[in-house]
Amino acid sequence: MSDLAANGTVMAASDEFFADKENLLNPAPATFQPHTFTPKGQQYDGWETRRRFGRAPGHDWVLVRLGSAGIVRSINVDTAHFLGNYPESCSVEGTCASGYPGPDSLKSWFPLVQPSPLKGGSDNVFDVDVPWRVTHVRLNIFPDGGVARLRVFGNVVPDPRDLLDIPFDLVALRNGGTVISSSDGFFSPPSNMLQPGESRFMADGWETARRRSPAHDWATIKLACPAVPVVAEISTKHYRGNSPDRIALSGSPDGKSWSPLLPETKVQPDTDHRFRIKTDQEVSYVRLESHPDGGIARFRLYGKPTSLKPLEDHWTATTP
């Protein structure tokens, strides 16, 4: 599963007097430095509203546009470091909207998490059993308080209309690419390679343990849909003393029988590489090999889909 909220946007909130709403989607764990005061009080790494209970009716809320639309499977309302000032409870709603509506245009909200008690200074993980595709979520806190991070885990479901008749990145998480297996992910998981944007630091890519046997590491990825790949981009950004010596790429229509797409090829540390793929083979899976081991920051695979039907069927079945 992916964090669907990653690279999303905090669009609006009822209040953010003590701590900014944008902190909710910070990919790093929340931190706390005691006795760090601003004119508004102790500084917190999260979203914190002013005291509402007994002063004003209602409750506080925050609205998030997900970085990747999809089926939500679980939600973590993390109250790290909020101990005497966390909300008593919360609920989460979702909606599915086309295009880029503003906060006031979002309608047809449905429940993802029913009103539930929260613990302070803790992960609060809620399983979600809702079959609908979600593009935006609204976190309601009762009645007020602080939340450090919001994580929305699930399966990406892109809108196939956005991908029709154009080449696109077939392995990107936001397009529905999925790592289904790998040899190793000791330092960081292979799904990191498929994230949007450039790698920010070493742990933001896929890095394996040091190999002490005469084999190599690999990751198998299911493409967003069947396609003929044209260009592969392999970045070893930030991996200077620990990049692979060589990489290779294979493709498969079924995840069982494999054919070479790119032979074993020398790569350089801390470098963006681009390789043209010479094939007319339709593939649904690729296997990226790291010889013998090391770190890969980003992996992109561009091509034109041969069929969007898997995406269309999934999108139709999951759109309210």
- Which residues of the chain have a pLDDT value below 50? none
C-beta of residue 188 within 8 angstroms of C-beta of residue 37? no
Alpha helices in the chain (DSSP H): 309-318
Phi-psi bin for 255: left (phi > 0), alpha (psi -120 to 50), beta? left
Three-state secondary-structure class, residue 239: coil
- Domain 160-305 class in CATH: mainly beta
pLDDT of residue 320: 83
What was the pLDDT predicted at 311? 82
Cβ atoms 228, 279 nearer than 8 A: yes
Q: Which two tokens stand for residue 141?
A: 């806190």
CA angle 196, 199, 204 (to 5 degrees): 100
Q: Give the pLDDT confidence of 101-159 residue by residue, as tens digits.
A: 999 999 899 999 999 999 999 999 999 999 999 999 999 999 999 999 999 999 999 88
- d(CA 202, CA 239) in angstroms, rounded, equals 6
Where do the structural domains in the chain lie, given as residue ranges?
Answer: 2-156, 160-305
Q: How far apart are the first and last CA of the chain?
A: 21
The per-residue pLDDT for 34 is 84
Can you give the pLDDT at residue 183?
Answer: 96
Distance, CA of 109 to chain centre: 22
Place of tokens 């004003």: 56
Same CATH topology for 2-156 and 160-305: the answer is yes
d(CA 272, CA 297): 9
Two structure tokens written together for 252? 């498969």
- CATH fold group of domain 2-156: Jelly Rolls (2.60.120)
pTM: 0.85
Looking at residue 313, its pLDDT comes to 84
